[in-house]
Structures are given as C-alpha cells and as structure tokens.
Structure 1
Amino acid sequence: MKILHTADWHVGKVLRGRARADEHRAVLKELVELARAEDVDAVIVAGDVFDTSAPTPPSQALVMQTLLALREGGRQVVVLAGNHDDPRLLDVWRPVLGALGVHVVGRFRRPDDGGVLSWTTRAGEDVRLAVMPFLSHRFVVRAVEALTDTPDQHNRSYAARFAQLAAALTAGFGGDTVNLVAAHGTLPGGKLGGGEREAQTIFSYYFEATAFPPTVQYAALGHLHRRQQMPGPCPIWYSGAPIAVDFGEEHNSPGALLVTVEPGRPAQVREVTLASPRSLRTVNGSLEELEAQAESLQDAWLRVVVAEKPRAGLADRVRQILPNALTVDVDERFRPTAARREGGGAARAARTPRELFRDYLAQTGRDDPRVIALFDRLHDEVTASGGGEG
C-alpha cells in the first residue's frame, strides 16, 4: 500500500500580522493533487492541523474541504490532534467526518474504540493503525506526583506511560498485517524546525523511540517541523511542515512523505518537496544594497536587517523598497552604545523632560529635528493644560 504522510499544517497561522490563508489554500491543494497523482491508499495527518485551539470558521472550512478532497476515490484519511489543536473540537468533528470516511482522533482512545483503526486495501492487505494524538503532561503526571516528585521523575513518568499506551495500542499487531503508528510529540535527538511551540518541545514532553515495537513497519510522526528520519526499532519519520511557519524555518524544505509498505517488511520512504509554499528569507544590507536585491525578493516574506544608522523613517523607507518586509531591524554593528550619564540618578532627576528626551534620541541614534519638534509641541500642550514641567 502507499501512504501520504503529512503533518503540522498550522492552518490559520498569522505571520507578523499577515494572514496566510491564500498560501495554505495553495499548499493544501498541492497535497491533494499529490495524493491523486500518486494514487495513494491512505493519508495520515499527524497533528497540528490548526495553528490555534480556536480556529476561525474560514480555517475550519479550508481543512474540512481538504480532508474531503483527500478522501476522494475511497482513500483512508486519518487525522489526529497535535499540541496546537483542541482535541475537544476534533472529537466534535469525529462522528460527522467519520460518517464520510475520515477518521478523526482528538484524544487517546481504547484500541476497540477508535485507538486502533483497521481496514483492507484495494490490494487486499489488512492494515492496523495505532493513533496516538498529543498527550498533555497534565494528564500523565498526577497531582500527587507533581507535588512530591522531581522534574526528572516527571520526565521519566511521561516517557514510561507513553510507552505503556503504545504497547496497549500495538499489542494486536501481527506478521500478516500492515502495522502503522501515527503520533504527535518529540523524540530525543530530533532536530527542531524552528517554529515549534517551545514549552511543549522540552525534555518533559519527550518519549523514547523504543516505545514503538519492532512489529511496527512505519511510525508517522508530527510536531517537529523539519522532515527527518529518527533512529529506532522500526522506520520512524517526521514529515515536517508543508509550509514554513516562522523565520526560524526559512532554511527548511517544506514537503511531505510518500510511504510504500507491505506486510512483514519495513516501509520504503520517499521525500517530496512542495513547490507552492512562499519562502521566508532574512536579508541584510544598506538601503542601496536592498534596492539592488528588490526584484529577486518579490515572492518571499522578508525579515530585513538594515546596515545603516537608525533614524526616523528608516523602516518606512525599507518597506517602500521591499513591500514584503514583515520585520525591519537595525544591524547590531550600527546600533549606538548608550553613553554613561554622569551624576547618577540625582542628576537625571534634575533634568527636564525635554532634556531627557533629547538625550534619549542622541544615545539611540534617533536624533531627528522633526521628532524633537513633535515632542516639544505635545509637551507644550500637556504643560499648558496644567501638567507641569515635572
């Protein structure tokens, strides 16, 4: 059988105030086209379908439409909750999408109640898929343990109980079936993509690769945004994110995985790079240098580091040259070092607001007559209304 493994869509993501709905629509359309072109038997979406636990109606509509398109032709489609998703919302979707053939798992379930999915492929192969959505630490570590145990004990407890759950879900795996696991979480040694939620990627949320028994022929993971294979007793892969969610991921290769597997043999994996995601780039240079690069940067979201002395209106000028600049920073080499003020706090207290503001502008390299004039006008208005000089 052939599987399309994807994860970490983060639909609804807003990058520095810019909505990315059009990008997500193009990326998800490309995934649907990939499933059709490769004639896959199943699609696994290993968590973080949404970017927030309260996705907007348009975000939900886009995901719903994509899942139904992936289901076309009788493909099996499996979706599990990630740490960004609200498992309760996915469980609300569960009966409706389940009636349409899309398997949705928001929270851990018993093997006989949706924790293990079974079906037969077009080629007659029997499939067993253990579904392991994101497991919150607060559900694993009990209140009494949280009060009495050490952080290291909490970490070991989390990993041990994850392994117990995996053992319970994979206990029925045999040699004559295609045996799969889909999970969302962090394995030790995994390389971060750069945009993951740090609080849920730390050691206390790790589980061990040994949680997956050798009877598993493929473990489809989500959470780390960099596509990578992990060492373990069976083939274990993160599909990576199909779209870079932040500038920490600008050097990643957004894509998905095509997996071919048959009973009794390890899966064969092929990496696929997607063409539609908009790139994220960090550029550095003077205004003149940035202007020279402008034409080649039209299709990317930009983080700009300006190699010039800070001054009023500099960011506006950069955005005139590069309209896709989402952030504008000054190169550290051009940031002035604040000079020490003589006389200490008492001397500063004796200075007027006008003097203090002028000192601030001078020390931060923002000395501009227009800004000073505006401050003086505002200051006069305030003091004229009885605010006083101090």
Structure 2
Amino acid sequence: MRILHTSDWHVGKVLKGQSRAADHIAAINALVEVAKAEQPDLVIVAGDLYDGATPTAESVKIVTRGLSALRKSAEVVVIGGNHDNGAALDALRPWADAAGITIRGAIGKPDDLMLAGTTKDGEQWRLAALPFVSQRYAVRAAEMFELSAAENAQSYPQHIGDLLSALTKGFGGDTVNLITAHLTVIGATMGGGEREAHTIMGYAVPASVFPSSAHYVALGHLHRAQSVNGPCPIRYSGSPLPIDFGEEENLSTAVVVDVTATTAAHAREVTLPVKTPLRTVRGTLEQLSTLDTGDAWLRVYVQEKPRAGLREEVQELLPKALEVRIDPKLLPDPRSAGGSEPARAGRSAGELFADYLSQRGHADDATVALFHRLHDEVVSQ
C-alpha cells in the first residue's frame, strides 16, 4: 500500500500581524497535487491542522476543503494535535463520516482509535491513531483504556507507552500495521516554531514506546522532516510551509511511503513549493535599499544605530518587512558592562528610561523626548 503522510498545517497562523491564509491554501493545494500524482491508498494528517484552539470560519473552510480534496484521491485519517481543539475536531465527525474522512480529535476508547481498512488491491491495514495527550489528561486516558497502571506517579512517557501498547495489541501478522501520533520523540530535532511547553518539560518520549510490530509510525508535532531511530520506521513529515522565521531554512515537505505486510517501509520526502518564502536579511539602510527580496516576507536585522523612526525607514525600503530589529552585533553585551546598575531611588521615569536606552545601545534624544511627551500625557489625565 502507499501512504501520503503530512502534518502541522497550522492553518490560521498570523505572522507579525500578517495572515498566511494564501500561503496555506497554496500549500494544501500542493499536497492535493501530490496525492493526485502519487495515488496513495491512505492519507494521514498527523495533527495541528489549525494554529489555535478557536479557528476562524475562514480557517475551517480552508481545512475542510483541503481534506475533501485529498479524499478524492485516497482515504483520509486525521488526528488532533496540541494546537487543535480535540473536542471541536470531533464535532466535525458527522460531516467527516459523510465525506468518507476519519477524524480522531481527542483521546477516546481503544476501539475508537484502532482503525482498519483494505486497499483497492486487497492489502489489509490497521492504524492506531493517537491524538495529542496532555500531561493532565494522561492519567484519565489510561483510566479510559482500563489500564491497571494508571497511577498519578507514572511519568508521561510511561503513560504514552501503555496507551500505545494497548492500542497495538490488535496488530496482525498479515496486515500492514501503522501508528500515527502527535508527540515529541527523544533524539528528534525541533523545527524552530513549535510550542516549547509541549516539546520539552517531560513531554518527550523514547522511541521504544513504539512496538517492533509496526511497519511505519507517522508522527506530527516537530516541523522538520526527519526519521528517528527506533524499533520500527519512525518519521516526522515536516510542515508543508515554514511557520515562522525560525523555520526559514526548513524544507517544506510531505512523505510518501510504500509498504506491504511482508516488506519494509520505503519512505521518500516530497518537497512542496512555498508561495511566499520567509527570509532574513541584514545590512545598513544603504545596503538594504539595493536588495531584491522578491515576494518573501522579511525579518530584517538593520545595521544602524538605534533611533526613532528607523523601523519606518526600513519598511519604506522593504514593504514586506514584518520584523525589524537592530543587528545584535551592534548592541552592547550586558555581561561585559562594567560597574553596578544605577540607583533607581529618587530618579524620574524619564531618567530611568534614558539610562535603560543607553544600557541597551539605544541612546537617542528623539526617543527620550517622545517618552517624556507620552508620560506627561498619561500622568496628567
């Protein structure tokens, strides 16, 4: 059978106030074209369809249309990620069931999370679908599975291991055995735009939680496409577009997997085009004025002394500059600053603000004058 593995769409993402809706539509359209060309038997979307728990109507429209388009080429299975509202995703199940799309937004009974099917060529497959499980929900999930070791004393990796062990008991010797989950595996590399609270702080699990009986593990959560060493083939598909500037070096990808019940999985990455790339540039105003940055959204490190109005000057030169910062190389290193911190007692807000600017390398009379004017307006009301 052939599988198309994707994850971490993050539809609804706003970058420095700029909507990425057009980029997401283009990315999902590219996935649909891959599905048309590759003709998979199964499409797995391994979580984080949305960037937040309360997606806008526009975001829901983009996602549901994208899933419907993918369904024209293959069966589609979707799980909830840490950015998704699992219950809200499950509320779409009546629509999804009618459309032939399988959604598992939140953890449920084991029977509801073990899926099965047969390809058009007669290959039988089973898929253990594990949506994102939070720390506080791990114990409740174990109780829902009626596991004996559901004590609070268990660690998060132990809970996940127990859940997967219970789910994969139904794997057969003559079926293609698959797992999809939304989590962090120890040893994998972050993509740069993930929510750290859900990738560290006890959320990482060892690859040993996956059984050797699995032919392929389709993961979501980390945005960089990569394989992970373990007892079976384990991969992150990567995000179909860079989520923020921390991911501008990542390739936008999906993964196509060929596997049978008796042969090892063969995975290959498919690079997806990005409608509006993200790019970081550096230079003086004069140097920036000569750059051809195309259609990219920009993060600019300007190599000028800080002053009032500098951001506006940069954005006049580069209208697609979403983030403008002073190049860190021009800022003083606070660790090398000699002497003690100036006393605060008895000093005015304006004096303290001027001292702060000097310490940060931002000394500018126009900025100080603007602060005084705003401060006077506030205190006089």
Q: Which residue of 2 aligns with 1:150?
A: none
Structure 1 position 156, deviation (Å): 5.6
Structure 1 position 246, deviation (Å): 1.4
- Change beyond 3 A, Cα 1:378–1:282: closer
- Change beyond 3 A, Cα 1:321–1:176: same
Q: 1:236 aligns with which of 230, 234, 237?
A: 234
Q: 2:303 aligns with which of 303, 307, 317?
A: 307
Q: How does 1:376-387 map to 2 (within 5 A)?
A: none
Distance 1:343 1:205 in 2: 39
Distance 1:343 1:268 in 2: 60
Q: Which residue of 1 aligns with 2:290?
A: 292
1:95-150 CA-partner distances (Å, limit 9, x unpaired): 221121100001223343x21111110101111111011011101247xxxxxxxx
SS in 2 for 1:85: coil
TM-score (norm 1): 0.86
Q: Which residue of 2 aligns with 1:105?
A: 104
Distance 1:354 1:170 in 2: 65
Distance 1:300 1:334 in 2: 25
1:16-59 CA-partner distances (Å, limit 9, x unpaired): 11110000010001101110111111100000010000101110
- Change beyond 3 A, Cα 1:332–1:175: same
Q: 1:257 aligns with which of 255, 264, 271?
A: 255
SS in 1 for 2:290: helix
Asked if structure 1 preserves the Cα contact closer than 8 Å seen for 2:300 and 2:323, the reply is yes
- Change beyond 3 A, Cα 1:341–1:185: closer
SS in 2 for 1:22: helix
Q: 2:271 aligns with which of 258, 270, 273?
A: 273
- Change beyond 3 A, Cα 1:313–1:161: same
Distance 1:262 1:166 in 2: 21
- Change beyond 3 A, Cα 1:154–1:257: farther
SS in 2 for 1:130: strand
Ranges in structure 2 where 5+ consecutive residues have no aligned partner = 141-150
Matched, 1:58 2:58: yes
Q: Which residue of 2 aligns with 1:37?
A: 37
Asked if structure 2 preserves the Cα contact closer than 8 Å seen for 1:257 and 1:272, the reply is yes
SS in 2 for 1:272: strand
Q: Which residue of 2 aligns with 1:145?
A: none
Q: Which residue of 2 aligns with 1:334?
A: 330
Distance 2:373 2:164 in 1: 68
Distance 1:352 1:236 in 2: 59
Q: Which residue of 1 aligns with 2:18?
A: 18
SS in 2 for 1:166: helix
Q: How does 1:153-232 map to 2 (within 5 A)?
A: 157-232=155-230
- Change beyond 3 A, Cα 1:303–1:163: same
Distance 1:343 1:4 in 2: 58
Distance 2:160 2:373 in 1: 64
Asked if structure 1 preserves the Cα contact closer than 8 Å seen for 2:46 and 2:80, the reply is yes
Q: Cα RMSD (Å) of the superposition?
A: 2.8
Asked if structure 2 preserves the Cα contact closer than 8 Å seen for 1:154 and 1:204, the reply is no
- Change beyond 3 A, Cα 1:288–1:118: same
Q: Which residue of 1 aligns with 2:81?
A: 82
Distance 1:66 1:127 in 2: 24
After TM superposition, the structure 1 stretch with the greater mean CA deviation from structure 2, 3-12 or 352-361, is: 352-361
Q: How does 1:115-154 map to 2 (within 5 A)?
A: 115-141=113-139
SS in 2 for 1:266: strand
Distance 1:355 1:227 in 2: 50
1:48-98 CA-partner distances (Å, limit 9, x unpaired): 01000010111001100000111114x110000000001100110112211
Distance 1:159 1:382 in 2: 52
Distance 1:212 1:95 in 2: 31
Asked if structure 2 preserves the Cα contact closer than 8 Å seen for 1:178 and 1:261, the reply is yes
Q: Which has the larger radius of gyration?
A: 1
Asked if structure 1 preserves the Cα contact closer than 8 Å seen for 2:306 and 2:364, the reply is no
Distance 2:205 2:359 in 1: 50
Counterpart of 1:258, as a letter, is V
SS in 2 for 1:179: strand
TM-score (norm 2): 0.88
- Change beyond 3 A, Cα 1:205–1:369: closer
- Change beyond 3 A, Cα 1:155–1:317: farther
Distance 2:209 2:365 in 1: 66
Q: Which residue of 2 aligns with 1:48?
A: 48
1:144-197 CA-partner distances (Å, limit 9, x unpaired): xxxxxxxxx979621122111111111121121111111000110110001110
Asked if structure 2 preserves the Cα contact closer than 8 Å seen for 1:5 and 1:45, the reply is yes
- Change beyond 3 A, Cα 1:124–1:141: closer
